[in-house]
Amino acid sequence: MLQLTDIQLTGFKNYGSGRFHFTSPVIGICGLNGRGKTNLLDAIYFCCLTRSYFTASDASCTRFGEPGFRLEAMFELNRDPMKLVLVYRGQQRKEISMNDVPYEKFSAHVGRLPMVMIAPDDIELVNGAAELRRRFLDTVLCQLDPSYLQYLIQYNKVLQQRNSLLKSDHLPSHDIHQLLDAYDQQLAEPGAKIYTSRKAFCTSLIPFVQEHYTGIAGTSEQVTVTYISQLHEKPLSDWLPQTRQKDLAIQRTSTGIHRDELQFNLNGQPFRGIASQGQRKSLLFALKLAEYDLLKQQKGFAPILLLDDVFEKLDASRMHNLLGRVCRTGGGQVFITDTHEDRLRHTFADLQLDAQIIQL
């Protein structure tokens, strides 16, 4: 079992310095709005995934007026202690060490301490742009396979270069085509790897999503999840030369895994068009719990689950189902924030969970 026992935050968001000791597999964190509940969860997330859940900017996680921040966390994996120290020194300089050994590549750390977060704005995963659903896939896949992150970085870098080239108007056409030949070649391999990983992952994810949806919503509605990719039809190495003229005209790359989509249907209709608020929330939780199950299955132990203000998002019976699932049958550590201490205590008592409550 993976468990976080201690965390120390220095200069992280609203924490000048903060220290927490966790003694239980289920931890409730309560306090009024603005006290730092979400920030504490984000610090935990940061230690595991080497970045904030909420922002791509490390600088914005630094407490106002400070040059950087430091996070130190003690984990136990099957009783083996793991000390994680993450220091952000400002100006994009970040260092991470495990048991006092610095990582050369952060991708080697991502996935060692698997983690799933569910936060209020995540409902955009169901309602919002396709990019968010691709990011959802990427976040899980990076935790499952360190090479995935490498391929993704490589792909995005070349894609950016290719798009800049498509926009440039001062190069002779011959040079442009020669450069495009090179970029097309460099995109094909990481593109193919990412496609293969996403496809395999979606195949295993889909049954879990359907099962959780039924369990949480308590209905027999049929949700289906479909992975859509241009690469189903032919490989990227075939697509790119064929769409080159079009790409030059629209000045961006029109084919590739950056156009992938995860499509949701409810009883055969597009989910976004017809689903109620409750159904959307159920789908969000089903997706996240499916992510949790798959990580657990492939790692051999449960990820840490961070639930930020989920009580606000679910009615009592759905909440009961959800917590029962993850706390009793999941077997992993769970952190739950709430503004209402009473509500947390009652829920834990109802489910007969041995929980620790931390008041901020």
Ligand X SMILES: Nc1ncnc2c1ncn2[C@@H]1O[C@H](COP(=O)(O)OP(=O)(O)O)[C@@H](O)[C@H]1O
Quick one: what does residue 14 bind among Mg ion, ligand X, none, with the CB cut-off 5 to 8 Å set by partner type?
ligand X
> Applying CB under 5 A, does 38 fall inside the site for Mg ion?
yes
Quick one: what does residue 63 bind among Mg ion, ligand X, none, with the CB cut-off 5 to 8 Å set by partner type?
ligand X
CB 3 within 8 A of CB 25: yes
CB 271 within 8 A of CB 221: no
- Beta carbon nearer to Mg ion, 37 or 313: 37
- Beta carbon nearer to ligand X, 37 or 280: 37
Residue 263, class by beta-carbon neighbours within 10 Å (0-12 exposed, 13-18 middle, 19+ buried)? Answer: middle
- Beta carbon nearer to ligand X, 13 or 51: 13
Q: How far is the CB of 119 from Mg ion (least distance, A)?
A: 8
Q: How far apart are alpha carbons 337 and 301 in whole angstroms?
A: 23
Quick one: what does residue 318 bind among ligand X, Mg ion, none, with the CB cut-off 5 to 8 Å set by partner type?
none
> Applying CB under 5 A, does 253 fall inside the site for Mg ion?
no
> Applying CB under 5 A, does 39 fall inside the site for Mg ion?
no
Amino acid at 23: T
- Beta carbon nearer to ligand X, 120 or 207: 120
Quick one: what does residue 36 bind among Mg ion, ligand X, none, with the CB cut-off 5 to 8 Å set by partner type?
ligand X
Q: Which stretch binds Mg ion (CB under 5 A): 37-45, 64-72, 265-273, 274-282?
A: 37-45
Q: How far is the CB of 318 from ligand X (least distance, A)?
A: 22
Quick one: what does residue 35 bind among Mg ion, ligand X, none, with the CB cut-off 5 to 8 Å set by partner type?
ligand X
Q: How far apart are alpha carbons 37 and 43 in whole angstroms?
A: 10
Q: How far apart are alpha carbons 358 and 29 in whole angstroms?
A: 5
Q: How far apart are alpha carbons 24 and 19 in whole angstroms?
A: 16
- Beta carbon nearer to Mg ion, 38 or 321: 38
Q: How far is the CB of 185 from ligand X (least distance, A)?
A: 42
Q: How far is the CB of 38 from Mg ion (least distance, A)?
A: 3
Q: Which stretch binds Mg ion (CB under 5 A): 38-46, 167-175, 258-266, 268-276?
A: 38-46
Q: Write out 110-172 in H/E/C secondary structure.
A: CCCCCEEEECHHHHHHHHCCHHHHHHHHHHHHHHHCHHHHHHHHHHHHHHHHHHHHHHCCCCC
Q: How far is the CB of 36 from Mg ion (least distance, A)?
A: 8
| Count of residues of this chain found to bind Mg ion when the rule CB under 5 A is applied | 2
Q: How far is the CB of 219 from Mg ion (least distance, A)?
A: 30
Q: How far apart are alpha carbons 294 and 176 in whole angstroms?
A: 44
Quick one: what does residue 52 bind among Mg ion, ligand X, none, with the CB cut-off 5 to 8 Å set by partner type?
none
In Å, how far are 7, 145, 292, 303 from 140, measured between CA atoms?
Answer: 24, 9, 9, 11
Q: Which residues of 41-59 are buried (b: 16+ CB within 10 A; e: fewer)?
A: bbbbbbbbbbbbbbeeebe
- Beta carbon nearer to ligand X, 63 or 318: 63
Q: Which residues of this chain interact with ligand X, rule CB under 6 A?
A: 13-14, 31, 33-39, 60, 62-64
- Beta carbon nearer to Mg ion, 32 or 101: 32
- To the nearest 10°, the Cα dihedral for 30, 355, 335, 205? -140
| Phi and psi, residue 229, nearest 5° | -150, 140
Residues that bind Mg ion (CB under 5 A): 37-38
